[in-house]
């Protein structure tokens, strides 16, 4: 997704704030909506955005952050592709006196002085909401429930946390069994391929838990190709609630979606202005989110922005 990755010019010499933003990539509908939200919010606030797409690679993100430091941007924000390995480059930013804001995903750095704040969802909570729905759906039943799981990008905060939260809930009832769990990289094609493998190797799949809509949508194609009915023969839970996911939910091909909002742009720009002015900001800012059943998806779809 191109973006206005320029890197040249100083923005005309006025006192416009310059924000260097390193995005994960363009792996999902969520990510596309997130990028749009950030670009639009920067434009609306008159912030000079230097946008860089890391194409899913941590090395590229580190490179982009280093280049933002060299360019002496006012603020750096980024959505870390994986949790680990950020300390050195974050120290470089700190030494250069450039404040860093984490958006969407967390890092596992012990030294929290390396960034000003983290704006994004509680992914453990999202996983729990997925588990809670399942527990309710199978309440009072004792037959084993075979679950396959499509994980997000290995090492990414939402993949780790959505797994953790989900397991925390389902482990309280031994009838729930995760019989296969592999990555689908948060992508539709990879979700489809991994689901094909599951369908070949696991005999009785009752439930699919996909860490995002796109992987769930890819899996639906695999399930249909195998002559099964998604949402009926195999119950499907996903996370995100992007339009394509909500449409599949309204058609009962998905049974439940846990919302994760990508519309972080406006809040991010407010934080950028504050940290630029050395104002205090909360160290953690949570986004507000809900969940959707097919009926709720039908009602919400006409006004859905992404």
- Where are the alpha helices (H) located in 56-122, listed in sequence order? 58-71, 87-95
Specify the stretch interacting with ligand GYE by CB under 6 A; choose among 25-33, 109-117, 192-200, 224-232.
Answer: 25-33
Question: Site for ligand GYE (CB under 6 A): which residue of 104, 149, 161, 206?
Answer: 104
Q: How far is the CB of 172 from ligand GYE (least distance, A)?
A: 25
Considering only residues 220, 239, 264, 269, which one is a binding residue for ligand GYE as defined by CB under 6 A? Answer: 239
Q: Measured from the CB of residue 300, what is the shortest distance to ligand GYE in angstroms?
A: 18
**Does 188 contact ligand GYE by CB under 6 A?**
no
Q: How far apart are CA 130 and CA 85, in angstroms?
A: 29
Tell me: does residue 260 bind ligand GYE (CB under 6 A): yes
Exposure b/e, 179-209, CB count within 10 A at least 16 = b: bbebbbbbbbebbbbbbbebbeeeeebbbbb
Tokens of 263: 């519309």
Min dist CB 123 to ligand GYE, Å, is 7
When the beta carbons of 120 and 230 are compared against ligand GYE, the nearer one is 120
Hey, what are 217's tokens? 């949508």
Q: How far apart are the C-alpha atoms of 241 and 245, rounded to whole Å?
A: 6
Tell me the number of residues near ligand GYE by CB under 6 A: 12
Query: Contacting ligand GYE (CB under 6 A), which of 50, 105, 129, 192?
Result: 105
**Near ligand GYE by CB under 6 A: residue from 27, 53, 74, 83:** 27
Are 231 and 253 a contacting pair, CB within 8 Å?
yes
Report the residue number, 185 or 253, with the smaller CB distance to ligand GYE: 185
Handedness of CA 25, 27, 31, 33 (dihedral sign): positive
Q: Dig out the tokens for 244 from the structure.
A: 């394509």
Q: Are strands 256-259 and 291-292 parallel, antiparallel or unpaired?
A: antiparallel
Q: Which residues bind ligand GYE (CB under 6 A)?
A: 27-28, 30-31, 104-105, 158, 186, 212, 239-240, 260
């Amino acid at each position: 997704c191109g973006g206005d990755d320029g890197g040249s010019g100083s923005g005309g010499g006025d006192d416009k704030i310059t924000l260097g933003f390193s995005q994960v990539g363009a792996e999902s509908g969520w990510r596309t909506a997130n990028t749009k939200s950030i670009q639009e919010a920067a434009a609306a606030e008159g912030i000079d955005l230097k946008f860089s797409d890391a194409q899913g690679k941590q090395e590229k993100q580190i490179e982009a952050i280093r280049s933002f430091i060299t360019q002496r941007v006012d603020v750096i924000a980024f959505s870390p592709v994986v949790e680990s390995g950020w300390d050195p480059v974050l120290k470089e930013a700190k030494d250069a006196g450039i404040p860093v804001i984490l958006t969407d995903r967390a890092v596992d750095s012990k030294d929290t002085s390396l960034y000003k704040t983290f704006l994004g969802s509680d992914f453990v909570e999202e996983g729990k909401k997925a588990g809670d729905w399942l527990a309710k759906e199978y309440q009072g039943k004792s037959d084993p429930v075979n679950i396959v799981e499509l994980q997000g990008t290995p090492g990414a905060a939402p993949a780790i946390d959505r797994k953790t939260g989900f397991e925390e809930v389902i482990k309280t009832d031994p009838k729930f069994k995760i019989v296969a769990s592999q990555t689908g990289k948060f992508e539709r094609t990879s979700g489809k391929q991994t689901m094909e493998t599951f369908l070949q190797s696991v005999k009785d799949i009752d439930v699919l838990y996909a860490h995002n809509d796109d992987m769930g949508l890819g899996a639906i194609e695999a399930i249909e190709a195998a002559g099964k009915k998604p949402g009926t023969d195999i119950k499907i839970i996903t996370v995100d609630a992007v339009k394509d996911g909500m449409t599949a939910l309204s058609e009962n091909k998905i049974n439940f979606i846990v919302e994760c909002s990508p519309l972080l742009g406006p809040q991010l720009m407010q934080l950028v202005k504050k940290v630029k002015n050395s104002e205090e900001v909360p160290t953690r800012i949570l986004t507000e989110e809900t969940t959707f059943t097919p009926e709720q998806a039908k009602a919400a779809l006409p006004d859905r922005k992404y």
